[in-house]
Amino acid sequence: MPTNPREARPLEGVTVVDVTQVIAGPFATMNLGDLGADVVKIEAVGRGDRSRSIDPIPEYFDTINRNKRSIEVDLKSEDGREIVTELAREADVFVESAKPGRMEAFGLSYERLSAENPTLIYCSISGFGRDSPYGELPAWDALVQAMSGIMSVTGQEGGPPLWSGLPSGDLITSMYTTQSVLAALYARQRGIIDGEWIEVPMLDAAISWLSARAGHTFGLGEPFPRLGTRHPTLSPFGVYSCADEDIVIAAGTDSLWRDLCAVLGLEELREDERFSTASTRAEHHDALKTEIEAVLADGSAEEWVDALQGANIPAGPIHDTRSVWEDEHVKGRGLRRTLERDGRADAEVIDHPIHFSTLATELSRPPETLGESTADVLEELGYDDGEIERLREADVIG
């Protein structure tokens, strides 16, 4: 145990076998690794996780695969399946993201592995889950965003539905995967369960995030409209143009509206019937935007952000994925991290966002090359050098 309690990671001593690829599974298991779990990532011999071949290489892969040990195993071979079975016998968690039925075909189903290890927490990520009419459909993120309704509320007013730009369906699924695994581990610790099988369908997970947007439909019987950056019931709220760049202002309450008028020198608008209440301001959003932007045009985005934030009005710059790292908050929090690697370029990653008072997260292992830990993991399972070489020559491992 660490001598300093602040160095203790919450999942220290927990072993996770990771048979996932691309984003949904790997992002979840990376989170478990950040929390201290020993994550053993199973990758196809010679090819590895498909995200290893997505540009830019290796930066795409690196952002979702730190704190893992990579081993190359051919699951189509009997010896390869035995290696994974041996890992599962000693593991706490097994996470897979194959199509329903694929793990059964490999002899790595929950039923099979739980018979070997009754305390195993087994989590299956899939596009649609078992018994879905879409069970065989490949669940690409854009498809999940479309079928869940997320895409329908994303886009400019009057324009077409848009993909969110983030792999939202994947990331939502990742969060539920992490949450459910932690919940099962806690239930096991309390003696409520021995082991558990968890199913996380991407479509179901994405639909759950409709939340208040679904509430609009439940209450009014209408689809939630695409509004771009405009809020359906609050104004000023959204993107506003300054002399040089756009900024975001979110001053939707009466008190914030009064403060905004003071900063912009638009006190007379407070007496305008069109803008006297939250509902009338939302109703006359376009006219209010015109009034505000006429003033903002006299200054730069930086000047106006400083003035508005100085009055505690929610306003800020619209960063892109390059400029965000120069933000004083981001730099002060050290959110962009560099993990050093021997013999090849260091990995640029984003720090784990959660901070505990007495526990800790740690970025201890940079993303590995394909199969970098194969020999080490097999030695821990009891394989000697001769057996490892035999498996390598037979292309069971890489």
φ, ψ of residue 385 to 5 degrees: the values are -60, -40
CA atoms within 13 A on the CB side of 156: 3
Indicate the residue type of 342: D
Q: Which tokens hold the place of 207?
A: 């639909």
Residue 215 CB burial class (10 angstroms; 0-12, 13-18, ≥19): exposed
Cis peptide bond N-terminal to 160, omega within 30: no
Question: In one letter, which amino acid is 261?
Answer: C
- What is each CA distance from 105 to 78, 136, 155, 341, in whole angstroms? 12, 15, 42, 37
- 237-241 and 246-250 as β-strands: parallel, antiparallel, unpaired? antiparallel
Strand extents, DSSP E, 101-258:
121-126, 196-201, 237-241, 246-250
In what side-by-side order are the strands of the sheet with 315-317? 237-241, 246-250, 315-317
DSSP code, position 243: S
3 state DSSP class of 87 = helix
79 C-beta neighbours (distance < 10 Å), count:
14
Q: How far apart are the first and last CA of the chain?
A: 34
Q: Is 395 a catalytic residue?
A: no
The C-alpha atoms of residue 265 and residue 27 are separated, in whole angstroms, by 47
Q: What's the angle, vertex CA 314, arms to CA 312 and CA 320, rounded to 5?
A: 130
DSSP state of 366: P
- The residue from 170, 204, 320, 384 that is catalytic is 170
Residues carrying an active site annotation: 170
